[in-house]
Amino acid sequence: MSLTEAQEKEVRAAMEAYATAYKTKDFHAMMNIFSQNICGFGSGPDEEIRDHETFTKQIKRDMSQADVEAVEFTETQIHGEGTVAWVMTRSALTFTVPGSEKQTICGRSTMVLRNNGNRWVIEQIHFSVPYGGQSEGQSFPGA
């Protein structure tokens, strides 16, 4: 069994709510979009989310360090069954840190969402940036 079209639209709406909350630094909205059991990885070497407490610290840090102009999800694939959905998407984050020019990080994201009976919440998230030392067609750097 796969997700219905309506469920897929709800998952996309949850992703867009996340993007909007991130751009507008709406901390309370972020807390409602993510599960109390959230886990995952960000692109930084210390960005390991193991529980809601580390997620809260990470979001507060993100919001304090940059102004985000855009969060875009493209080439999105959504699959799922029942109350669980998994997402694979390309992600672009356009931001400015104090004293610098506007920058864009282009990466890849995966998410696992669960419908808690009221709404879809993000249970797991992973954002990564392809390794620059590895050329297209290589499975390993220098291969």
Task: Provide CB contacts within 8 A for 140, sequence distance 6+.
Answer: 134
pLDDT of 1 higher than 70: no
pLDDT at 136: 86
pTM (2 decimals)? Answer: 0.92
In terms of Cα–Cα distance, which of 74, 119, 120, 69 is closest to 96? 69
Between CA 139 and CA 45 the distance in angstroms is 21
User: What is the overall mean pLDDT for the chain?
Assistant: 95
pLDDT tens across 130-142, in order? Answer: 888 888 888 888 8
Q: Return the pLDDT at 139.
A: 87
Contact between 107 and 43 under an 8 Å Cβ cutoff? The reply is yes
- Residue ranges and CATH numbers for the domains of the chain are 5-128 (3.10.450.50)
Q: Which residue has the higher pLDDT, 122 or 135?
A: 122
